[in-house]
Structure formats: C-alpha cells, structure tokens
Structure 1
C-alpha cells in the first residue's frame, strides 16, 4: 500500500490556485496567458494557455524543487515504489541519457543490448562511455530481437569486469521482457549499476499479473514514459531511482541537459496521470489487458496474421511478455509490416504505432475502446483479402549483429566525408541510420557498414519505411569516418 495520500496532485492544485488569483503577468512566456496569441488560444483553448506559465515562487522550480514539485516528486516515488522520482519534460530520451550520464563517464564501459533506442547511443556520444553490446536473442520466424539471454550477460560481465553498468529494455517495443531480477542480481554481485529503459512499461507498476517492473526487481534507475501508456502529455516522463544513487547527483546530471523552463502543462499532466494510475491503475490496466487479448484472439482467427503473446516465453531471452502489446506478424500474407501500416492509415484511417519489415504494433492503452479495436480487426481482415500475395523474396530478419570498430563518440566527432550508401561497404559509419518508429538504429556511429546492412537499408526504403538519422534527408548518402 502507498504510504502517502495518492489523491493529491500538488502541481495541478497549485496551478488551480494561481488561476484563481488573477495574477497580472510581467514575466515570460510572452503570450501573457494567451492574450498575445489569439490564434493559438483559439486552437489550444484559454484553459491551456492560462496555465502555460513560468517557474515562480508559488509554483516552485523544476531545476531546484522545494515546494509543490518536491511534494509531487515524493508522491510519484511512493506510487512507483522508488526512492525518488524526477519529473522529466525533455521526453524519455533525456531520462535515458541522464541514467547513463549519472553512472558513466568518458571511457567507462556499459553493457547493453544492441536493440536499444537511439537515445541510449546518443548518451554514449555525449558522455564518451563505451558500449559492450550483448546480442539479443532472435526469433528467426518473426525476425525480431528478443531479450538479453542470461548466458550472454554472464559472458559480457566476465569479459568486462570493469563495466560500470548494465542497461536493459523492459519491455522491448514488441512486449518482450528479459529476466530482470537475475540480471540485476548478477550486476550487483559485480558492483555494476542496473539501468532500465521502461519507455513502454509504465503499466508494469500498476496493473496486476504484469511482468516485473524495474523498481520491484531491485534495479538502480528506470526511465518510464508516462505519456506512452500512462495517459500524460507527449514528452513527459519519470526518472526513478533506488537506494544506491544520490538524489542530488542525479538531479545535477539531469540539469546538464534538461530545460530550465519546465512546461507546467507537461508537469501537471504527469501529476494528474500519476494520481489517476495510483488510484485506478489496477482497474484501468485490467481493462487494457482484456481489450488486447480480445483483439489478439480476433486477429489470429483471421488466419495469415500472427498476433503473438505469452506462448513465446522460454524462460530466458523471452522471460515474460507484456499482455497489453498488440504485436502482429504480417509476412505470411506477403506484406511487410510497414506496408500494412501504410494501407491502414491511407485506406482505413487507422494510425498504428509502427510497422517494420515483418510486424506491426498497435499500442493499446487507457484511452482505447472495444469498438475501435473491432474496426482495426475488420480492416486487417479486409487487407488480407485485398492485398495478400506470395511471400517469396521477402527479407526475413530485423536484427543484424553489428561490428563495432570504434566508440560512438570518437566516430561521431571524427573527420568524416559523405559517400553514396550503395558505395559505402567496408567504411565505418559516422552517423545513424534507423527506421522511426521504433528508433532502434540499423547502423550507429562507429560501426562497420556491411553488405547485409546496405541490403537492409535498400529493402526498408523500398517497402516504405521512414528512415532517419543521416545528414542527407533523402538517405542516399552516408557520412563515413575518414581512415
């Protein structure tokens, strides 16, 4: 049970009080409660702009909280069973970067799976930390990367006893979880920190029969995207820490990159959403799980598609599965996931989270209704009938084992030149190439460009994947390290 009064929302309450005081603003923002920008006020509403305010004494300050934000942080920590919770307004990207930068300095090693979000590799470019990649397990049929196999983690620890930390995805984009408790025990036994990217795991803290969450597993830090499945506004997240880290040190690290003008729209959305989940989360995520399971069963009845779930659990690289994820394998009907993604949006007015080479993902959360899921299922059925074709010649894997030649920071800041991707084989990449979403790099700075990677990029482009990361917006050329 929570020890604090979870019915409170201190930031939200302070903003309500501020509104009632009818303060005359001679501070920023310059739109002055919306009066200076009538079009924006009409678009977003007076209620919204009247609380788009600057830090001031009654509303506290995110950089150095002493009153309402401090109290809201304590309530959030209590709700998530953490030692402390930081309000993050630069997205979960900044939370992942703060985790890594809090425990790794230049030259320090960090063990991580290669299928991390780009934000983790960006943190290595900023901090100068050196990645030790654990290749995730791979499901050859689905073509997706899985969790971190324990033997691979043990090997990485044995080969790199001086590593400072291990980073784990919990869950992956597809809903797959590693054995977080065992990894945490192994890491702590070797005096390493455990950092968890829980961008897609907010509901693990509040739902019943969910995979274990980072704080319960004893991890040291977790980056939690409240906006993804917890109901807060886009770009708002929590960074949670446990007992082995100093609150002051982590806050200083956050303040290196986080804005000094924390948005009260984002802060209050975190405050209100935390209250809602602490009070109603069990019921909310029970409903979400039921909706996802219903949709999964219906999709599997169509035939040709495979909406996968807990049957993938193998006790190791798939230690657990997030039942709220509607991940669907599409290659059997002769369509890449990205093709189904495009057809759903263009022909049926349905926007799903992402499609890649072999799968699509629909995020099911607090805001979904059975009727909308029925529309998704019937649309998938119709797509199969109208568009399915022979699957011969389709690329059948997502994960390519990287050849890391130099540290990401060294590659990123080295002398570079631009070459055509089709002529880039053998060079060391100086930049990223990734499909977004999910934002997991196909190629990261410091990695050798191979024929397999070139083929993958060509195929992903041809199928309609939205590729990002290169300086060249057309993704025809890539910057390589001058050797």
Structure 2
C-alpha cells in the first residue's frame, strides 16, 4: 500500500451498512421514519437507498461516542491516511472539530496565542471554556486588502511575552490560501512547552496532493481540524479531528462527547469513510488536475485584465510562507466592483455560485468535483462582467482586516450584563456579541472588543455592498449588544476605570 500501513481500499462503515441493508431488519428503534416508510415525501426527495441507511447506533454498526468496531476501524484508517496518531470522525462540521481541539487544550483563564483572522468557531470555543486570546495581528497585503499569515517574529514575541500561554493556533491555510511557516511555529510552541493547533478547514487536499504546503501532521502539530466536506468530497457537516503522538486521545474523546451528538449520522460517517478511501487511492492524481485547472484559470483571468487572480508569486518566506495552489482567489477592486458585487452578479445573471465575495475579493473553490468546462464558463462570465460593469474604483474600501482592541475575554463579554443600542451610537462601547460576514465567518467584531469608528464604517459599507452579515441578536444588524456601563467609555482616551478584570494581554 505504499506509504500506508493499512489497507486503504477498505471502508468499514460503508461495508457494515451494506450488510445491514441486506439483512432487512425490522426497525423498532429510532429514527421514526422507519427506513423512509413513514415519510414518503422525504423518501421521494432523498431516495430509498439514502433514507434506508439513515439508522441509529446498534451493535453491528458501532457507536460514535465509544467506538469499538467498524467506526473504530474507520478512524484507524483515517489516521493512517492522514499520517496522524489518531483520527476522530466528526458529524458537527469542522466547527465541532475546532471547538473540541480548543476545549481539549484550554480551560478557564488559560491563554491561547492565535491570529485574529480565525473562524468564528475558535472564538466560540473561548466563550465556552473561558480561555483568554492573545492575538497575533496578521500582516495585511495593502493592495489586495487581505489578511495574511502569522509572521514567525510576531509568534516568537507573543510566546516571549506570554510564557504562561498553553497553546498556539495557526490557520493552515487562510480562506484566501495563505500559509504561515507552520514547521517553525510548531517548533517555537513546543520549545516553550505549548501545544500547537492547526485549523485546516481548507487544507484537506494538502495531505494527498503533490507539491502542496506542509500539513499540520507533517509539521508536528498536536491537533488539526480537517474539513473533509470542503475539498475532500464528503457530505456537508462531516469533518475529522486529527491528533499527534503527544496528545491523550482518551481525553480528546471525552471532550468531543461533551458537545457532539450521541446520535451520529451514518450518512455523514459513511461519507467520511468512502471519501477517505477515495482520497487515499486517487487523491494524488485528482489534486494534480485541480492544481492544473487553478493555474489555467489564474492565467486566463489575469489575461482578461482588471482582475488579479493571485497565487504563489505572493510568497515572501514569512507571513506568506506558502500558498495553496488550488485556491482561485481573485481581486476585483480594480474593475470598480466589490467582490460581493461580482459574487451577486455571477449568481443572479450567470447561474454561477462561487464560495464567497467580500469587499475586495472573490473565491471560487476548486476541488475534486470540478471540470474544465465549468471553469471556462466562469472565466467567460468574469470577462463579460468586466465589459458590462467596469467602472472607476474611486470610493471603494480596500481594507479587509481591522486590528481589534481587546478589553474583555470573549466569555466575560458574552455573558456580561448587556444592552442593545443603535449601531450608529455604539462607538466606544465594548461589544458583547459577534458581527461577521458569512462566508468566510471571520468576525469583524467579537465579544470583548471595542467598537471603533473604523469598524462601524466597515460594517455599514459591507451592508451597503450586500455582504451577508450575521452574528448579532438583531437580524437586521441595526442594533448591537454592548456591555452595560454607567457611562460611555471613550476609546480615544483609553479610560477603562469602570471595567473590572480587564485583560492585561494586548494584541501583538
């Protein structure tokens, strides 16, 4: 089997479900649709084969909370395929993988060093466990307006100033495809007695393609959250949590079971099983084609003019240590359109759904299911959009990342006494909820951060351009929850006298 220790042609959960289907078992258990017979409309929509294997845990099919047979075999095969000591099947999306990773590493009051351009799920985990973030503000590409990776010097400085931190978390890669120097960051963390965690939601293909950036497990990271349903081809909401040799797998399983469902979906688990087998057997050839398609698309889009489809030419050896060659990230500002405007036009007028658009960029997500003819259609549509809609870029915002001022830990702010105020009157207050564009789900504001004029201008601009803003209690994002104080605190003067237990750690 080459680099693998186990037979990667196996798919134990899938095989067990096939055996179960042949047995024609009479169900007096849940789910209540009873192999689809009780819900004919659902069966007609999803198909008899699908609902027929939407079953509950039973001895022949194992149990996700305490796997001892087919699910355990699937986990061992996944760990082998990804080069990990252990792998856990996750059915709550990579959000649950990230949260389990953080909750396994941190408890209330612990410091964790991380970039501020993390996915919401990371900060959600801090709300749950009470850990304190020490943010390393990422470098920013001023032309593209995107946040980059963490520089090694910034990580080293954060570790030196916070020797009591318990972990360092790294995006590998960012949404745009940017990778930090993961090997060096792992080394720095371990030398300081800290764990190193990797959010690899967008890095599944790193484990199987040639010429890809280093994977978390290769780099020696302790844990990695891997979004199999993104570039790996499994069903939406299915994910993996990988751990290295230094991690107590039994403890991680206990942490996972605190929040993950006790009724694991066999549709999701079998999709992980089958997709892992597919990647182990065919991933190298498949991702070579994906990379070639991305390279072709970058060349064609750049030849159109006005757009900038960026790639490995950005690598600077530090904050852009490497770049994901499958990412088709395109800067749109020079044709006078925000990324979200191009996103909307592609969907509404060309029936092309891309991954996301923000104020300056779009991302077309390429993976194992894409074909060249669809890519040609995208390139043609972008050329036509430029011809039809190009205008002067005057007045367009260019900055995607605004460095926050952290005053409270996310948990303290989220659970503090709060009140709702109009967004337009919130400057200077401390936010007690999230505000973000989704996708990508990176918070513009997180609980415990001060609301500044620059942030408010960004939110208003993003709303105007049509970004999908989520997070606040107010679905219209007209009001925002702030920590209740007797009087407004001026962020210009930095007065924090009214605030108990203010964080002593600052952003790096």
What TM-score, normalized by structure 1, do the two folds share?
A: 1.00
- Aligned-residue Cα RMSD (Å) equals 0.3
| Residue in 2 that maps onto 1:444 | 446
| Residue in 2 that maps onto 1:182 | 184
| Residue in 1 that maps onto 2:503 | none
| Residue in 2 that maps onto 1:140 | 142
| Residue in 1 that maps onto 2:396 | 394
- Which of 381, 385, 388 is matched with 1:383 structurally? 385
Equivalent position SS for 1:215: helix
Counterparts of 2:156 and 2:441 in 1: how far apart (Å)? 27
CA deviations on 1:200-250 (whole Å, 9 max, x unpaired) are 000000000000000000000000000000000000000000011111000
| Residue in 2 that maps onto 1:116 | 118
Equivalent position SS for 1:274: helix
Equivalent position SS for 2:217: coil
- Which of 428, 443, 467 is matched with 2:430 structurally? 428
- Which of 187, 206, 209 is matched with 1:207 structurally? 209
1:3 aligns with 2:5: yes
Counterparts of 2:7 and 2:246 in 1: how far apart (Å)? 26
CA deviations on 1:380-438 (whole Å, 9 max, x unpaired) are 00000000100011111000000000000000000000000111000000000000000
| Residue in 2 that maps onto 1:221 | 223
Structure 1 segment 70-219 matched on structure 2, within 5 A? 70-219=72-221
Equivalent position SS for 1:475: coil
| Residue in 1 that maps onto 2:498 | none
Counterparts of 2:371 and 2:280 in 1: how far apart (Å)? 22
| Residue in 1 that maps onto 2:505 | none
CA deviations on 1:53-80 (whole Å, 9 max, x unpaired) are 0000000000000000000000000000
Deviation at 1:251, TM superposition (A): 0.2
| Residue in 2 that maps onto 1:268 | 270
Counterparts of 2:312 and 2:74 in 1: how far apart (Å)? 36
CA deviations on 1:248-291 (whole Å, 9 max, x unpaired) are 00000000000000000000000000000001010010010011
Q: How many equivalent residue pairs?
A: 483
Counterparts of 1:314 and 1:430 in 2: how far apart (Å)? 37
| Residue in 2 that maps onto 1:237 | 239
| Residue in 1 that maps onto 2:455 | 453
Structure 2 spans left out of the alignment, 5+ residues: 486-508
Structure 1 spans left out of the alignment, 5+ residues: none
Deviation at 1:346, TM superposition (A): 0.3
| Residue in 2 that maps onto 1:310 | 312
Counterparts of 2:105 and 2:216 in 1: how far apart (Å)? 17
Counterparts of 1:12 and 1:477 in 2: how far apart (Å)? 48
| Residue in 2 that maps onto 1:416 | 418
Deviation at 1:363, TM superposition (A): 0.3
Deviation at 1:193, TM superposition (A): 0.3
| Residue in 1 that maps onto 2:301 | 299
Counterparts of 2:98 and 2:34 in 1: how far apart (Å)? 34
Counterparts of 2:22 and 2:238 in 1: how far apart (Å)? 26
Runs of 4+ in 1 over 6 A off after TM superposition: none
